[in-house]
Structure 1
Amino acid sequence: MFTETERCVRAVQSKDARFDGWFYTAVLSTGIYCRPSCPVVPPKVENMRFYPSAAAAQQAGFRACKRCRPDASPGSPQWNERADLVARAMRLIADGVVDTEGVPGLAARLGYSVRQVERQLLAELGAGPLAIARAQRAQTARLLIETSTLPMTDVAQASGFASIRSFNDTVRSVFALTPTELRAKAKPSSATPTTALSVRLPFRAPLLPDNLFGHLVATGIPGVEEWRDGAYRRTLRLPHGPAVVALRPTPDYVAAQLTLTDLRDLSTAISRCRRLLDLDADPEAVDEALAEDPVLAPLIAKGPGRRVPRTVDPEEFAVRAVLGQQVSTAAARTHAARLVAAHGDPVSDPAGGLTHLFPTPESLTGLDQEKLAMPATRKRTLTTLVRALADGEVDLGPGADWARTRERLLALPGIGPWTVETVAMRALGDPDAFLPTDLGIKVAAENLGLPTAPAALTARSEPWRPWRSYVVQHLWATGDHAVNTMPS
């Protein structure tokens, strides 16, 4: 995108917010970089330079615009649409892997050498993994500076900086203000590590919250998830300890209230919440492509901006997908609640009714099949899956190879195409997963005059690529089910 200079110039001159996060505009005359929709008067074309990432603009010596705050724009939709090395690396960096495991750890997860990873990121994004992680740390630092009254030494540590000096230097070079000056401008309300931090999660409009929050609430596990005071709340298992998040949709952003055990997990928590709600999607591009089909066009017009509800924990979702095989939503919730009560780690939630973290695959490897109230074949499927997840035979993480993961899941007993595609859609985040054997999809297809046989419906779905996960949401929305309605 950023190599198409003429297109970038048009986007900047029209202040087109659809391209926020796709590329960044640096201005030679001022030394700052902006998002395309920056409200200031567009610079002269000869003074514009375009970069594929905030990290690349920062590395070239440009500072973030104080007006449009380009560092806080929605992320590029490419990293959730693609399955190549660069996209997988970007998802892992957003999940905090470089901060916790370094670049060697990132490369090991991807199955490439450090040199190969650095070369490909530099070629496409103009910055290596360290620079990209540094830009992410700068944004985390800004959030903590502006939303809390924590001492700056604590902010530096929580943001992942190795020293207060590197923290000060980075903030000053990226934002052209010292940390103290940033805080003075924000005038944050009192907050400490034991209270919640309030963060705004931006998205590209439009956003339809109905099926997004409706699905999460209707399938929520008691003790792990709940709907309270107009917000979806759930527990999170993060690298440095448990957390609780409350997510509330508003017309312009999703309000997130995070209660963390350790502030170093802030960036990872935000990244996982964004993935959960599919906030980095480009809904206009998706809707425009799907509306070309005359059968889908009325559905798109009725529900523009529909997102795919995903997950904050891919391994948790895979277990839940098996529990939900051939049973009702209520029965799946009951099975999951029993697992949580027996094997989940307890958490404290003074603000609500959350009691546990969902159990890890490791904690479920010793499951007593006799105590599972489900058919014998499903018991075997569940215990085989948790062993495969615990042993690393199946990788569902943000850096997973989607095709390889599908193959390994299909090789497990009792896991067929429906489960694999459900996991691909919601745990892996593949925008092109499709469920032709799903009962709700079959009913919707019949009502719309589409083929109902799986092979025929799959063939009919070819023009919908690579957005078939979104088609699934639109087809499900034609039915009368609680997953399609956000609670009042």
Structure 2
Amino acid sequence: MTAAVEGLTRRWTPDYPLDIGAVVGPLRRGAGDPAFQVGADGAVWLTGNGAQGPGSLRLARRDGAVVAQAWGEGAEELLDGVPRLLGAEDEPEGFEAHHELIRETKRRNPGLRLGKTGRVWDSLVPAILEQKVTGYEARRSWRDLCRRHGTTAPGPAPLGMRVPPTPRAILAVKDWEWHKAGVDGQRRRTLLNAAAAAHALTSKEKLRLIPGIGVWTTAEVAQRVWGDPDEVSVGDFHIPSVVGWALVGHALDDDGMLEVLEPYRPQRQRAVRYIEASGQENPALRKPRFAPRFSARDYRAI
């Protein structure tokens, strides 16, 4: 039996506290993400494209170990990447908290680390889709592209899971299909430019050579693919305000956010992750609403 049918299994025991959900959570694009699901038993399911092909990965804890199972042509590659995906190459020991909120959140979340997928393309597509639109719009487009242009997740993955579309699949998407997915011309051109050069996108510097990819998109990819502890998402619609309300009690712009985070260099993104992790228990993050919510646009109706 091949890995595509039977699957492969490995056990790995981390030598540090590990919260799988907290580490891989940034990879999830909404509750309906076809490439990331949590099973009824609490296991985390991911799909991805590797050098050997598509694959599905299931992660679960058992007796202190991580039990990783994978299916598909990319199964072995996914299993090889489990330790780094779950933060084994992260180095949080030198992080120093300069705010009580971050200090307390760090204490309460010892299993929060920065993981790395090593797969640029799978994180780049949703990041481009999220450029200058609402999260609702971006997630709708991501679901549509995965379902129409991705492939069925190998193995016994939860119903509806898909492997994201490959660069070749993106290059084959027709104009009317982009329209149906709600992807405007600018993001479509950026995706096509990236797909044409996907094999060469191996660093932040090379990403920024692609027309339409700037500092925000590069940061979103670097955080997930290389576990970059310092690359903050400058230009984000929400993060400066979240950081501001958490640390200084009022909204900030990008410059203000960077000033407040400067003491955390070269681990500013780690500080942001702790701020985000504090959201459920920190009233300061429940900032007041002063303006109407930005309305999602439906390009499919145009």
TM-score, scaled relative to structure 1: 0.49
Question: Alignment partner for residue 64 of structure 2, among 233, 252, 270?
Answer: 252
In 2 relative to 1, CA 230–376 (structure 1 residues): closer, same or farther, beyond 3 Å?
Answer: same
Question: Alignment partner for residue 243 of structure 1, among 55, 76, 79?
Answer: 55
Supply the distance in 1 between the matched residues of 2:253 and 2:104 (Cα, whole angstroms): 23
Partner of 2:245: 446
Q: Deviations over 1:351-380 (max 9, x none)?
A: 532553211112212333443213333233
Is 1:467 paired with 2:267? yes
Question: Alignment partner for residue 273 of structure 1, among 82, 87, 91?
Answer: 82
More helix by share: 1
Whichever residue aligns with residue 243 of structure 1, its letter is: G
In 2 relative to 1, CA 355–213 (structure 1 residues): closer, same or farther, beyond 3 Å?
Answer: closer
**Maintained 8 Å contact 2:35/2:47:** yes
Partner of 2:206: 405
Show the 5 A alignment for 1:365-444: 365-372=171-178, 373-389=182-198, 392=200, 395-396=201-202, 400=203, 402=204, 404-405=205-206, 407-409=208-210, 412-413=211-212, 415-438=213-236, 439-444=238-243
Whichever residue aligns with residue 185 of structure 2, its letter is: A
Supply the distance in 2 between the matched residues of 1:429 and 1:211 (Cα, whole angstroms): 13
Supply the distance in 1 between the matched residues of 2:142 and 2:245 (Cα, whole angstroms): 32
Partner of 1:98: none
Percent same amino acid among aligned pairs? Answer: 25
Question: Alignment partner for residue 455 of structure 1, among 241, 255, 264?
Answer: 255
In 2 relative to 1, CA 309–280 (structure 1 residues): closer, same or farther, beyond 3 Å?
Answer: closer
Give SS of 1:442's match.
helix
Partner of 1:305: 111
Instruction: Compute the displacement of 1:301 (Å).
Output: 2.1
Partner of 1:479: 279
Supply the distance in 2 between the matched residues of 1:408 and 1:296 (Cα, whole angstroms): 35
Instruction: Compute the displacement of 1:473 (Å).
Output: 1.0
Whichever residue aligns with residue 408 of structure 1, its letter is: L
In 2 relative to 1, CA 252–281 (structure 1 residues): closer, same or farther, beyond 3 Å?
Answer: farther
Q: Deviations over 1:406-458 (max 9, x none)?
A: 5425xx23x33221211121123322111244313422322321772312321
Partner of 1:211: 22
Give SS of 1:296's match.
helix
**Maintained 8 Å contact 1:369/1:379:** no
Supply the distance in 2 between the matched residues of 1:310 and 1:221 (Cα, whole angstroms): 22
Question: Alignment partner for residue 131 of structure 2, among 325, 340, 355?
Answer: 325
Show the 5 A alignment for 1:8-407: 194-217=5-28, 219=30, 222-228=33-39, 229-249=41-61, 252-261=64-73, 266=76, 268-283=77-92, 285-286=93-94, 289-294=95-100, 296-308=102-114, 310-311=116-117, 313-350=119-156, 352-353=158-159, 355-372=161-178, 373-389=182-198, 392=200, 395-396=201-202, 400=203, 402=204, 404-405=205-206, 407=208
In 2 relative to 1, CA 271–350 (structure 1 residues): closer, same or farther, beyond 3 Å?
Answer: closer
**Maintained 8 Å contact 1:235/1:354:** no
**Maintained 8 Å contact 1:242/1:357:** yes
Partner of 1:58: none
In 2 relative to 1, CA 383–207 (structure 1 residues): closer, same or farther, beyond 3 Å?
Answer: same
In 2 relative to 1, CA 240–455 (structure 1 residues): closer, same or farther, beyond 3 Å?
Answer: closer
Instruction: Compute the displacement of 1:257 (Å).
Output: 1.5
Supply the distance in 1 between the matched residues of 2:189 and 2:223 (Cα, whole angstroms): 24
In 2 relative to 1, CA 208–218 (structure 1 residues): closer, same or farther, beyond 3 Å?
Answer: same
In 2 relative to 1, CA 306–368 (structure 1 residues): closer, same or farther, beyond 3 Å?
Answer: same
Instruction: Compute the displacement of 1:321 (Å).
Output: 0.3
In 2 relative to 1, CA 330–212 (structure 1 residues): closer, same or farther, beyond 3 Å?
Answer: farther
In 2 relative to 1, CA 200–441 (structure 1 residues): closer, same or farther, beyond 3 Å?
Answer: farther
In 2 relative to 1, CA 371–227 (structure 1 residues): closer, same or farther, beyond 3 Å?
Answer: same
Instruction: Compute the displacement of 1:241 (Å).
Output: 4.1
Supply the distance in 2 between the matched residues of 1:347 and 1:449 (Cα, whole angstroms): 44
Give SS of 2:172's match.
coil
Larger radius of gyration: 1
Give structure 2 stretches of 5+ with no counterpart: 282-302
Supply the distance in 2 between the matched residues of 1:217 and 1:407 (Cα, whole angstroms): 24
Give SS of 2:155's match.
coil
Supply the distance in 2 between the matched residues of 1:342 and 1:478 (Cα, whole angstroms): 37
TM-score, scaled relative to structure 2: 0.76
Instruction: Compute the displacement of 1:269 (Å).
Output: 2.1
Whichever residue aligns with residue 230 of structure 1, its letter is: G
In 2 relative to 1, CA 253–427 (structure 1 residues): closer, same or farther, beyond 3 Å?
Answer: same
Q: Deviations over 1:136-178 (max 9, x none)?
A: xxxxxxxxxxxxxxxxxxxxxxxxxxxxxxxxxxxxxxxxxxx
Instruction: Compute the displacement of 1:298 (Å).
Output: 2.4
Supply the distance in 1 between the matched residues of 2:81 and 2:28 (Cα, whole angstroms): 17
Supply the distance in 2 between the matched residues of 1:231 and 1:217 (Cα, whole angstroms): 14
